[in-house]
Structure 1
Amino acid sequence: MLSLEGVSAGYGRAKVLNDVSINVSPGEIVCLLGSNGAGKSTTLLTILGLVRSWSGTVSLDGQQLGSDTAEIVRRGIAIVPEGRRIFAPLTIEENLRMGAEARRSTSVEYQDDLDRMFTMFPVLKERRHDVGGVLSGGQQQMLAIGRALMARPRYLLMDEPSMGLSPVLVDQVLDTIGEIQSQGVSVLVVEQNAFAVLRIAHRGYVMQGGQIVLQGSAEWLQQADMVVEAYL
């Protein structure tokens, strides 16, 4: 299990997270809902060690995670960051290779993973020698997901994967998240599009002002007055 227990964190003297507790079990898709500035992205960055927790614990399989991000990735956690943040001057294949840099892999393992990404995202194979900067927003999102999966994570963090995409592409991303989960990867997805993400999630949390104010099954959250009024 990936777990945050009573985590507080922030930037400088500004507290952003206040006593946050979240857990993601193997095989789950868990969503974290909230408006801009609620602390959702900071939660993901704290899991990765990029923001240090002031108090509380972040643990994986009962062992506390430190602040060495590369080691955290090697232990099985990867992220698809907000805004995709691909390496625009690098080719698609080079971007994917970057995703495998934190782990030790043989050339055969690397090629197997690359082939798997090209099977999941055929358009990336067709354009494997094109630089990332010329891709459309949807194609860049596919590349960002593929780059994260090249690390062979057990837990995938996704920050606003539907941002800036058309409704058709949002559906494709949601289908991809479901496919990733079916392959044994647990997903913690931060999303403002509550209507979309609650269709595929098992459970969810609602964050306001750096605190968890509501949690429950995705089905229950779709009916909760607070969620309906604020997000649906």
Structure 2
Amino acid sequence: MAPKQTPSPEKNRNLVGPVLQRRQTEGTFDQRLLEMRADHNWKHADPWRVLRIQSEFVAGFDALHEMPKAVTVFGSARIKEDHPYYKAGVELGEKLVAADYAVVTGGGPGLMEAPNKGASEANGLSVGLGIELPHEQHLNPYVDLGLNFRYFFARKTMFLKYSQAFVCLPGGFGTLDELFEVLCMVQTGKVTNFPIVLIGTEFWAGLVDWIRHRLVEEGMIDEKDVDRMLVTDDLDQAVKFIVDAHAGLDVARRHN
């Protein structure tokens, strides 16, 4: 009998929720939840999915309930280590730890890995909240505390519940999704005193100009909604903006 070959560590490795498998599954849990199947199996499957969804919230609350104050950093998974954005992400993670914050990311590669690396190397708490996707299927090696979610909405709740500020490094649709969700949550008062920072004035300039010259001028949002964001290239300014906002909140609480 021929000896059994050791599989390549990266071959067909697939995270299905919190479970690591060496086989490919059809679609993701989010996809199967949101698609309407022609055979009407959803009538039987969806009520049971509630228990799986519930378990994700329970696991998240249980793992994160003792989190210290934290800042979530979003950014593109596609940026490589030799890119200036990556280096800025590492430095940002270090500076957030120096300001006594834990660093939370989506747990993946690129500009999620970079802040985790900076936080880990600065001996701070580095947290990764991953998501089941057809690609980018791993938590990066700099995560100290990691969870992998099946459902985006459960994961997003953890970002909002256990972070006190958001920083967006340059990124794509995922980063934009998180940015606009947080802006909406702050605008509608669902979360309060929640600093939002965009790193990269050149990268974000077109979007910010469009928001000001289209949404504000046409009365779809208020000017103050744009002023909720700090756009900067200065990492020290970004961290100070967050620290000062939280210091102001502490003062207000002491006077109430």
TM-score range, shorter chain: under 0.3
* Higher strand proportion: 1
TM-score (norm 2): 0.26
Higher relative contact order (CA 8 A, sep 6+): 1
Name which one, 1 or 2, has greater alpha-carbon Rg: 2
